[in-house]
């Protein structure tokens, strides 16, 4: 099926203008304070950790968490949110950190606790729901015995850190039921209440709750609606590592400072070439992957210094993404002329603006003003029988390589620049587009092809 050329033009213009942008802000947060009172005791294989009454320092490093390093708009906004939490010295509002796996939200939860007023951290307890799956009765209690939550419920000078589920995998119906029960209990703890299995009543939960999760704020609100509860919760969105390329250098350097003492090294820095390799990496494994790569790089540097004592304390490109047995990953971007070609502004940026965009306009003009039947219009045949099916066939093998030369993106950027130049305030994406936009676009293209 082939649509008329004028319909083709309408769809092309619609897609070209389907873009959006967001402004940046700036904020500076002072160095974090140290946690004065916190002890940890494993409960049944790390289902929870709790204070035993004695006090010991758990953080002697006055520097802030590595996840908070950087100067991008996302991390500035994140630091601003945390600062507002710390400024409210008499507030016990629950805090919920939401982010993808490897975003560093668990590290941020510890950072928040370390900056809370001393009267809220007389006791600090940690609960990991993934590990707590095997100890549901210990945490929630039974009809015959009170649970851990019953024991903690009246401790108003305590803080409970709850790390949500990291995996959705379950192996039985029983596990699924226990996971759902723990999630509902987690949501109700954020409202300052919980259902005591032992007493079969809803009881207040006085400790302050600092939680981490991969779920959205709306997910918890839906659960709490079932109990007619609408608590005040400070929701913090933690950006993923994939979206923080501008901060990777600062985060990596902070990680090196944290790890170097374990390898008997001092004042280790990153060279320009090593930073370039870090920026080229996708970091799908997030903070854990970065920790692993920095540890491997420091291991190799320690070996070099053992054989050549005067080796400088600088991590070079040769140390990056190389396992400890010496096997190296081949990266084409390390080849100078390849990198020069791929980073040339003419390859994508200027080519899109000055070559692809005018050709696209010319092509659409031919479609719009020329013959409207396939038999008479070669452009129409190329557009519907070649271009669109070609994109669908190429995607499984080369991914989104088409996006690198897509005229829709080029004209979307041009449309934004023209709009801003005329004084138009660009609006944010609607929530439905963020949630269902990908599926909508896919089926829209599918219907066009059909």
**pLDDT tens, residue by residue, 377-411:** 887 788 777 887 887 788 778 777 777 778 877 78
Work out the pLDDT band at 450, boundaries 50, 70, 90. Answer: low
Q: Hey, where are the domains in the chain?
A: 5-20+344-449, 42-239, 243-335
d(CA 59, CA 283): 27
Q: Do domains 42-239 and 243-335 have the same CATH topology?
A: no
**pLDDT tens, residue by residue, 233-256:** 888 888 887 788 888 888 888 888
For a pLDDT cut of 70, what percent of the chain falls above it?
Answer: 79
Domain 243-335 has CATH 1.10.8.60: yes
- Classify 395 as helix, strand or coil: helix
Non-local CB neighbours of 228 within 8 Å, separated by 6+ positions: none
Q: What's the CATH architecture for 42-239?
A: 3-Layer(aba) Sandwich (3.40)
The HSE-up count of residue 439 (CA atoms within 13 Å, CB side) is: 5
- Residue 264 zone, left/alpha/beta (φ > 0; ψ -120 to 50; rest): left
**pLDDT tens, residue by residue, 272-287:** 888 888 887 777 777 8
pLDDT exceeds cutoff 50 at 14? no
58 closest CA partner among 159, 166, 206, 132:
159
207: which DSSP letter? S
β-pair partners for 328 = 322
Task: Decide: residue 26, CB within 10 A, 0-12 exposed, 13-18 middle, 19+ buried.
Answer: exposed
pLDDT exceeds cutoff 70 at 10? no
């Amino acid at each position: 099926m082939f649509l008329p050329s004028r319909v083709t033009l309408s769809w092309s213009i619609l897609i070209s203008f389907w873009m959006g942008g967001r402004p940046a802000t700036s904020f500076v947060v002072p160095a974090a304070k140290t946690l004065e009172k916190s002890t940890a005791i494993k409960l049944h294989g790390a289902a929870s950790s709790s204070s035993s009454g004695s006090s010991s320092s758990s953080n002697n490093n006055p520097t802030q968490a590595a996840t908070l390093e950087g100067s991008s708009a996302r991390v500035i906004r994140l630091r601003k949110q945390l600062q507002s939490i710390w400024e409210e010295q008499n507030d016990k509002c629950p805090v919920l950190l939401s982010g993808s796996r490897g975003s560093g939200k668990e590290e941020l939860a510890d950072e928040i606790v370390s900056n809370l007023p001393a009267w809220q951290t007389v006791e600090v307890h940690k609960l990991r729901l993934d590990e707590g799956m095997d100890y549901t009765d210990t945490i929630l209690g039974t009809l015959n015995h009170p649970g851990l939550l019953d024991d903690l419920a009246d401790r108003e000078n305590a803080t409970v850190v709850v790390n949500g589920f990291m995996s959705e995998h379950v192996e039985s119906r029983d596990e699924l039921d226990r996971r759902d029960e723990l999630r509902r209990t987690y949501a109700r703890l954020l409202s300052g209440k919980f259902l005591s299995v032992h007493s079969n009543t809803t009881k207040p939960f006085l400790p302050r709750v600092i939680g981490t999760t991969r779920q959205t704020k709306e997910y918890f609100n839906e659960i709490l609606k079932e109990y007619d509860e609408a608590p005040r919760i400070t929701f913090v969105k933690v950006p993923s590592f994939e979206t923080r390329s501008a901060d990777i250098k600062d985060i990596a350097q902070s990680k090196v400072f944290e790890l170097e003492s374990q390898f008997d090294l001092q004042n280790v820095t990153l060279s320009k070439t090593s930073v370039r390799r870090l920026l080229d990496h996708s970091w799908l494994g997030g903070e854990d992957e970065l920790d692993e790569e920095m540890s491997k790089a420091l291991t190799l540097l320690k070996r070099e210094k053992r054989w050549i004592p005067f080796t400088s304390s600088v991590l070079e490109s040769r140390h990056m993404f190389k396992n400890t047995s010496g096997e190296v990953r081949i990266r084409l971007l390390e080849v100078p002329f390849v990198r020069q070609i791929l980073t040339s502004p003419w390859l994508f940026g200027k080519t899109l603006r000055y070559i692809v965009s005018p050709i696209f306009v010319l092509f659409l003009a031919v479609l719009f003003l020329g013959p409207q039947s396939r038999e008479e219009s070669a452009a129409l045949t190329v557009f519907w029988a070649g271009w669109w099916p070609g994109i669908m066939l190429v995607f499984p093998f080369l991914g989104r390589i088409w996006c690198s030369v897509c005229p829709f993106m080029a004209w979307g950027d041009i449309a934004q620049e023209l709009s801003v130049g005329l004084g138009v305030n660009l609006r944010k994406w609607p929530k439905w587009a963020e949630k269902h936009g990908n599926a909508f676009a896919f089926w829209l293209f599918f219907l066009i092809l059909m």
